[in-house]
């Protein structure tokens, strides 16, 4: 059997701060196949971005990967040297950030930035690189790419800037793209267009996509699978339709009930009571138990992930059945 595009197994990424150890990512495992989209969902601080940064080799002190395996096309990435990372990033693995200006340089024309991004990884002529840039801009729905290439980032609207950042991510036809809330700051129509285009591009090119978001409704219709994170752990995972139709972890259920569009008219919008716990003070038990209406005494024990159905995991001693 050939290796999955991406295999993450038992990943633990901790911050060693003066105040204590922050277990930002605590025993996270999942797989992603070529051309598939995985949604990584959870509230702020649940460890989604740090999971993405770990896969990209972007963890800096005081953070460190303390355990686990991250394999791309069967090759373990956890022990790569920085020079090897530079060959991979922007080439085989690309990242799209919430703020496109994390990718774009405000003082350089778009053509300069895009051509540089191609030539950093390919020994081809500037003309061929430019042709690739034009094609990438057209693929993300930017009309008149020649004119656009001569512009500076400030001459684009927010949605257009994000499209350019996506075009840059696509330039070298990566195997994997990690998108960290890239449409959160955009209006709903633009968001819908970008989600649709990303889905099409991944299907066409066989690129795997990890879409990080706090909003489960974004994942519906976009992702194939979803991992729901809480306090650094995956509490539920599986095919997106199954999870949206029948959430088993009380936290996933709470997240779904707090989406306005899924709420029954006239009924007040549900909220998950309480706050996310400090990741420094987490014991072994279920981190959600203080906020959970189904919690019982045994939730003080570590809940192992169980497999209630093929392809589905849930980390809860008292799941919703
Ligand atoms: N430099 C740091 N030192 C200590 N803790 C950190 C540091 N950076 C992040 N963390 C902690 O790691 C945890 C996970 O953060 P992460 O950014 O992955 O969450 P997230 O789910 O992506 O949230 P958001 O949606 O707000 O980005 C958070 O509790 C955060 O406080």
- Please check whether residue 116 lies inside any domain of the structure: no
Residue to mutate, 14, 24, 26, ligand 1, most ligand atoms under 8 Å from C-beta: 24
Q: Is residue 243 part of a domain?
A: yes
Which atom of ligand 1 lies closest to the CA of 60? 1
- Give tens-digit pLDDT for 35-82: 999 999 999 899 999 999 999 999 999 999 999 999 999 999 998 998
Residue 100 included in any domain: no
Q: Which of 98-112, 120-134, 261-275 has the lowest mean pLDDT?
A: 261-275
CATH number for 268: 3.40.50.300
Cβ–ligand 1 contact at 231 (below 6 Å): no
Q: Does 101 fall in a domain?
A: no
**Stated pTM of the model:** 0.92
Taking the CA of residue 214 as reference, the ligand 1 atom at the shortest distance is 25
Q: Is the CB of 100 inside a 6 Å radius of any atom of ligand 1?
A: no
CA 65 to centroid of ligand 1, rounded, Å: 14
Overall number of domains in the chain = 1
Query: Does residue 15's CB lie within 6 angstroms of at least one atom of ligand 1?
Result: yes
Query: Above 0.90 for ipTM, yes or no?
Result: yes
- Domain around 308: 4-92+174-314
Which among 235, 277, 251 is positioned nearest to 22, based on CA atoms?
Answer: 277
117 part of a folded domain: no
Decide if 110 is inside a domain.
Answer: no
Average the pLDDT over 280-291 and give the result: 85
> 7: Cβ–Cβ under 8 A, 6 or more apart, which residues?
31, 69, 70, 71
Q: Residue 219: inside a domain, yes or no?
A: yes
What per-residue string of b and e applies to 167-192 under the rule 16 or more CB within 10 Å gives b?
A: bbbbbbebbbbbbbbbbeebeeebbe
Do the domain assignments include residue 133?
no
């Amino acid at each position: 059997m050939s290796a999955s595009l991406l295999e993450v197994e038992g990943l633990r990424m901790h911050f060693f701060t003066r105040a204590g150890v922050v277990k930002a990512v605590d025993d996270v495992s999942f797989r992603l196949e070529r051309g598939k989209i995985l949604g990584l969902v959870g509230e702020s601080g649940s460890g989604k971005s740090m999971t993405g940064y770990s896969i990209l080799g972007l963890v800096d002190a005081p953070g460190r990967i303390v355990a686990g395996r991250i394999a791309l096309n069967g090759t373990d990435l956890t022990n790569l040297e920085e020079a090897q990372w530079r060959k991979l990033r922007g080439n085989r693995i690309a990242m799209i950030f919430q703020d496109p200006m994390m990718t774009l340089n405000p003082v350089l024309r778009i053509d300069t930035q895009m051509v540089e991004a191609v030539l950093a990884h390919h020994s081809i002529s500037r003309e061929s690189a430019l042709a690739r840039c034009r094609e990438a801009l057209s693929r993300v729905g930017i009309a008149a790419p020649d004119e656009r290439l001569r512009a500076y980032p400030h001459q684009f609207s927010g949605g257009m800037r994000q499209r350019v950042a996506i075009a840059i991510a696509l330039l070298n036809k990566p195997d994997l793209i990690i998108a960290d809330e890239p449409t959160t700051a955009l209006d709903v129509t633009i968001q819908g267009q970008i989600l649709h285009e990303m889905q099409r591009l991944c299907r066409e090119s066989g690129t795997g996509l990890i879409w990080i978001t706090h909003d489960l409704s974004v994942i519906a219709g976009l992702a194939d699978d979803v991992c729901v994170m809480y306090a650094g752990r995956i509490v539920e995972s599986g095919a997106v339709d199954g999870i949206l139709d029948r959430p088993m972890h009380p936290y996933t259920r709470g997240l779904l009930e707090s989406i306005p569009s899924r709420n029954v008219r006239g009924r007040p919008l549900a909220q998950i009571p309480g706050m996310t716990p400090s990741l420094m003070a987490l014991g072994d038990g279920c981190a959600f138990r203080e906020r959970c209406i189904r919690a019982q005494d045994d939730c003080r024990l570590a809940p192992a992930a169980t497999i209630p159905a093929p392809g589905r995991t849930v980390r809860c001693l008292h799941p919703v059945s």
